[in-house]
Structure 1
């Protein structure tokens, strides 16, 4: 089937969405490169400057569902413009921060803007792009997400070395102004609402607190079990509140559709495994294989680069074959990549790491495009914002859980990975990716059960 070319309006609308995904993705990782410099600039400890990263991540994780629902109620384009404005203004405040506390606070506000941008960008695809090209659009957004996250550390290091640490935040000001203009000029205006729609403030407060407690459980040592129990209680309270709410933040009836539950579970499992590559990879390459810092940096960039380059082709595959056929193939690819990392001996050297990572990264790009397209095609207009936000929430929770849980698996297998000898690091890699392969097999089962209970509508091109 011939592909219908996009008109100028649609191309620029898609450009605005791509930029809306790139900016917050870039700031997820760009500050990491500057932590040593920021610690020296503010005379702070490593544990203190870590909150520059954590404040942003916690704000995004706790607020993303709430702002997604706000977009459904008050207008997604309107709220996206507000989010870009918050993100850009907070970025300028970060650059001008006179002290560490000011910088951490500004990063939290920047996280609010990022939560809005993450939540609404995917939801707005259906308003901006023809249905037959939705897969390609989702693939482009996946590319922007991977590009921003992978480019952040290297770009941040370059800017800090040649311009100074404020430049990593000033960069967002011209990008934000351009993005706001593109959204205002080219995205379709929100549909007018005839009646006032209630917003679930109590449910929002309970969910924000519950997610904050869970995120802290994954990032603070010494209180993990207590905080996890509190987050479970909070989840139960949230369900009780939503069952009684007149206008619930999340309609629990949505989860009667097995496709939603399985898609969110798949996102959580897959991103948990992807974070494993970022946690284990640096130790294996440097201490296990004895590679220098330059080679380690190049090797670590292979996976994110492939994920970034594979996003658009993956989206075209989804448009052609349909999401339901593509997701299992992507998950099988991740099973294969994790299994190879768990089984290949260290004596095979760097190729035995890079080839499985290439398979994992390309499969991840394919999964993102297919999973997001398949889910959003089944969602009603008035729920796209909250469902898009739930996808973003699952991704963030997966990243947090992967860093904590899979990092703990690696530490358990190696003792202290900063001191362990090369052969112990190798065994730790094998053990950790053995667990990752099991998680991906679980994902295949979840997908099979979800598809067996639900028959989604036909996808264009399938």
Structure 2
């Protein structure tokens, strides 16, 4: 008999997973800077080209949890490697697109691959590392996500400077294919290769995709369409009906997408809810700050971009440190402190003045990044440690799904809060062209939105603290 196969080195597994995470995150941000060029080259209006970004987000968010469940059944190696293959094939279709609708459809295909990749990456890392090191590993994975968000706009600008926009997609293909082939060999016959004799709830996956996709589309466009408009109300009704159908479907199948037993695990349910609140708060800041920096402050797009990178720089620097600390201290106090720091950042940002220097603004943005970095890795490590190993894929997919839901909710909430005050103080006139005389009205609306973020942070502090003692900490007592 041949000798048993040695398990792969945990950090080699991490690097293979990190490549997939980096590519998926990068493609969510790199395309944004190319949209004006794509709009010009394909001769389409902004209302059409924005779907190049939107369809990717909707597809990924709608499928994450379902692919997480599939990875628990079919094996994480199977889902991850085929996800990289689908992502690479979608990138090829994007690069060859000669019209907007072909590009949008290709981005949806690419989003399916990205959802497969992102749905099980945390579970693969959690499988590879012992529980005592998961915080450090997941914190470092958080730094990879931050680097993808930081590098995307800069790399996209550089590619557009030396080549055309299809090269943004061409570069994915060799990296994605090579990583898929190596990961398929590296992860074979390991803990990521387990197969379970359970059926996959296809109808539940379809209903979940309809529910999530319709909700995200409605929330994202609610302000533009109007919250009493037919498209908004129709999408919300579709989301509600799909949710009711999903509840009925999950109650009648033997193997549901989300086992009810998971929702009864306090250290799964409350950290997941807290993560959604955190990302809603963070993206309230991310959405509104560029308007403040460009309009009242008068900074250039380049200066604004550099300032907006600040939270992600500190997320990149502090996430591994926070993760390593959580391996020793647990998640409850680190995550609660992170929420407190994010809430303090809202207070600091609400006191900004248009004549503040870039440094005065940047260090306040850094505070928000530190708060998020202190929260994410301990929270994710606790979620992955709280669930049974056979549900790690669902847990990882759930964490990724609520992250995207929080982002979209934060953007929608920020727009609603800002515009409600701006309209009421400005006689119902929209912010289409900024004029210096609008500064007092703009700042009143901006400060209201930022102070409302304090309420978001307060809710996050409460939910985070209520999780109680960590499972790992209690097991040592």
Q: TM-score, normalised by structure 1?
A: 0.93
Q: Distance in 1 between matches of 2:316 and 2:431?
A: 29
Q: Distance in 1 between matches of 2:194 and 2:303?
A: 56
Q: Which residue of 1 aligns with 2:361?
A: 353
Q: Larger deviation: 298-307 or 370-379?
A: 298-307
Q: Which residue of 2 aligns with 1:248?
A: 256
Given that 1:268 and 1:397 are in contact with CA atoms closer than 8 Å, whether structure 2 keeps it comes out as yes
Give 1:332 shift. Answer: 0.8
1:335 to 321, 339, 343: 343
Q: Which residue of 2 aligns with 1:214?
A: 215
Residues 460 and 32 (structure 1), Cα distance of their counterparts in 2 relative to 1, 3 Å cut: farther
Give 1:330 shift. Answer: 0.7
1:248-292 CA distance string (max 9 Å, x none): 111122111122221121111111111112211111011121112
Q: Distance in 2 between matches of 1:200 and 1:193?
A: 19
Unaligned stretches of 5+ residues in structure 1:
1-6
Residues 379 and 41 (structure 1), Cα distance of their counterparts in 2 relative to 1, 3 Å cut: same
Q: Which residue of 1 aligns with 2:427?
A: none
Q: Which residue of 1 aligns with 2:4?
A: none
Residues 433 and 49 (structure 1), Cα distance of their counterparts in 2 relative to 1, 3 Å cut: same
Unaligned stretches of 5+ residues in structure 2:
1-6, 424-429
SS at match of 1:199: coil
Q: TM-score, normalised by structure 2?
A: 0.90
Q: Which residue of 2 aligns with 1:228?
A: 236
Q: Which residue of 2 aligns with 1:197?
A: 198
Q: Larger deviation: 41-50 or 174-183?
A: 174-183
Given that 1:322 and 1:460 are in contact with CA atoms closer than 8 Å, whether structure 2 keeps it comes out as no
Q: Which residue of 2 aligns with 1:458?
A: 473
Q: Which residue of 2 aligns with 1:260?
A: 268
Q: Distance in 2 between matches of 1:128 and 1:20?
A: 16
Corresponding position: 1:280 with 2:288: yes
Residues 302 and 194 (structure 1), Cα distance of their counterparts in 2 relative to 1, 3 Å cut: closer
Q: Which residue of 2 aligns with 1:39?
A: 39
Q: Which residue of 2 aligns with 1:3?
A: none
1:328-351 CA distance string (max 9 Å, x none): 111111111111112344454444
Given that 1:243 and 1:252 are in contact with CA atoms closer than 8 Å, whether structure 2 keeps it comes out as no
SS at match of 1:246: coil
Q: Distance in 2 between matches of 1:308 and 1:195?
A: 36
Corresponding position: 1:403 with 2:411: yes
Q: Which residue of 1 aligns with 2:48?
A: 48
Q: Distance in 2 between matches of 1:125 and 1:16?
A: 10
Q: Which residue of 2 aligns with 1:164?
A: 164
Corresponding position: 1:449 with 2:449: no
1:385 to 363, 378, 393: 393
Deviating 4+ runs (over 6 angstroms): 459-462
Residues 414 and 177 (structure 1), Cα distance of their counterparts in 2 relative to 1, 3 Å cut: same
Q: Which residue of 2 aligns with 1:102?
A: 102
Given that 2:330 and 2:472 are in contact with CA atoms closer than 8 Å, whether structure 1 keeps it comes out as no
SS at match of 1:139: helix
Q: Larger deviation: 368-377 or 404-413?
A: 404-413
Q: Distance in 2 between matches of 1:212 and 1:359?
A: 32
Q: Which residue of 1 aligns with 2:442?
A: 425
Corresponding position: 1:435 with 2:449: no
